[in-house]
Amino acid sequence: MIFLKAVWRFIVGVKDVLVLCFLLLFFGGLYAVLSMAPGERPVKTHQGALLIDLDGSLVEQPEEADPFATLLGSEAPVQQYRLRDVVGAVDAARTDANIKAVVLNLDGFIGGGQVALTRLGKALDGVRAAKKPVLVYATLYSDDSYLLAAHGSEVWLNPLGAVALSGPGGSMPYFKGLMDKLGITAHIYRVGTYKSAVEPFMLTGASPEARAANQALVDTLWANWRTDVGKARPSAKIAAYASAPLPSIEAAKGDLSQTALAMKLVDRLGDERAFDERVAALAGEAPSHQSGPTYAAVDLKDYVRAHRPGHDGQIGVITVAGDIVDGEAGPGTAGGDSIATLIDDAVAQGDIRALVVRIDSPGGSVLASERIRGALAAARARRIPIVASMGNVAASGGYWVSTAADKVLAEPSTITGSIGVFGILPSFEGLLAKIGVTSDGVQTTPLSGEPNIMGGFSADFDRISQLGVEDMYRRFLTLVAQARRKTPEQIDRIAQGRVWDGGTARQLGLIDKFGGLEDAIAEAARLAKIDPGMARPLYIDPQPDPFLALVEKLTEEKTARSTTPRDFLGHQAARQQAMMTRALVDARLLGSGASIQARCLECGAYMQGGYTAAPAGSRQPDSLMKLWLSALR
């Protein structure tokens, strides 16, 4: 009987899978037929407030969701919002008579990086300059969300909420002590006094050089943050609250929301219902057919579609976002072959007269970085001007890519530099010896069986690997020297793997000028002898997979709300866990990535989701213990 029940369950399971496959094929075919219809469904937007509910993270290029995990998984992916879409919508709202106000709901906002948020803040300033209100609501404001909120005309805080300003910085794990106890040997090949990516595997704490460089970086970023917020909200007592929050919190007897109000960090206390009533008084009541807020709300997705740029631009814009990896990769990860192919195809079509490469990457594989740089160099050889536009981070491999450009633009808070390379491989002879396992064998050459992870690496292999890394570093120096019109010796003095903020990078000559993406497009137009006022961008994005687009349509309602805690204690704990998760995922990445890498690990905290989001692909780890083990495998 038990056997028959098992067979029956198996048959039912097979039936369910077949039904699901049939439905996917049916809807996939239906979507393909509908996609063949020329044009795009018109978008109608009514009057009201443009609702920007940033429930997730703000990114340069959203990642492609795993369709099967989305369809069959118990948890849906957290939203990612493209920076240029949100900025474009806010810019359009400034002059749109139908938009009476702009509303930012930051209750589930994870983060977006200082450069991206500063750009969006400028767009919000434009709305306010047009005499339109910008209303902001959240239960808890962190560094990233408050950087946006400061640009609002009315900042609301839930009476049970708080403003938690932590500033950049924090701890990361060092594995050297654990590895020694386990008997794991890290074979490290690097060039660069400040190439601190490998320090967790060779030291028990930060080296003096790495500590000094990182302290200088976070101090500059924090100063830039305070300057931006101070200009946007001069009445807020930011310096006093951030440097010594305890006295003001004690004065309010622990009431964090009242503290924020007393320090003029927010304008009003109220729950979401009271906030909606305030918006309704400005933008009108919700029409009967609208679901959601009680005020007339214009949906962000529809508004973005209605104001999407055309496909007739002369300035091509290609995005290099996320880790740079070998081969092909979907959006949100910079696959060397994928991006090079996009560049080659765009140039071959002959429609573009200049190229802007938008970089938001901590680097990665040297080979993939060179693959992208080579495609840009080939375009430049065809007399197509190249301008590099750096976002939150353009370091290591990200800077390698920028060396193909005629001009390099960045922002004062951009993280760049990290000109250095490294490789790391583990061996387990000590661990195996602890349990009585030894190894032996025969060789025909000095490299037979190398790297010998069971018996330890030979001196020849170690020396050859180090020489290879040193050669790659010399190549990196040469590329940068040629691009910046300096000698390799001059570049070596400011390289050595050190990470720089954009302001210092400009002083050192690593970038040409300050400016965002729009400035880079204008610069590319000038190089192509086009009137910048007439220049139009042509965004060269990967073509969406029809099946994935269908899955996204079918699962729109399943998109997860951000699980970032909205109370002070929960938020601070989640912030620390995210930093730990990021460090562990980076550690695992070192062992599974390319053998020679141009990567800036410390830069990850300043990208996309900032300190409150784990790296891509690790937002919902099963447990920190699993990551510990996988990082050391």
Length of the chain: 633
The rounded distance, in Å, linking the Cα atoms of 587 and 334 is 19
Inter-residue contact 82 to 319 (CB < 8 Å): no
Phi/psi at 538 (nearest 5 deg)? -120, 105
Q: Does residue 558 have an active-site annotation?
A: no
Take residue 378 and report the two structure tokens written for it. 């080939």
Residue 423 and residue 190 in contact, taking contact as beta carbons nearer than 8 Å:
yes
Distances (CA, A) of 571 to 31, 89, 138, 524: 41, 29, 13, 42
Omega prior to 544 cis, within 30 of 0? no
List 145, 257, 389, 396, catalytic entry: 396
Of residues 234, 235, 263, 236, the one with CA closest to residue 247 = 263
Catalytically annotated residue among 57, 100, 132, 195: 195
Q: What angle do CA 231, 235, 241 make, to 5 degrees?
A: 95
Torsion of CA 458, 460, 465, 471, to 10 degrees: 170
How far, in Å, CA of 404 to CA of 482, rounded? 10
Do residues 6 and 14 touch, judged by C-beta distance below 8 A? no
562 flagged as catalytic: no
The sign one gets for the Cα dihedral 251, 268, 104, 229 is negative
In whole angstroms, what is the distance from residue 431 CA to residue 477 CA?
38
Element (H, E) at 526: helix 517-527
> Which string of DSSP letters, residue by residue, matches 536-560?
-EEEE-PPPPHHHHHHHHHTGGGPB
List all residues 6 or more positions away from 213 whose beta carbon is below 8 Å from its beta carbon: 194, 196, 498, 499
Name the nearest CA neighbour of 493 among 192, 242, 269: 192
Q: Contact 372/339 with Cβ under 8 angstroms?
A: yes
The residues annotated as belonging to the active site are 195, 396
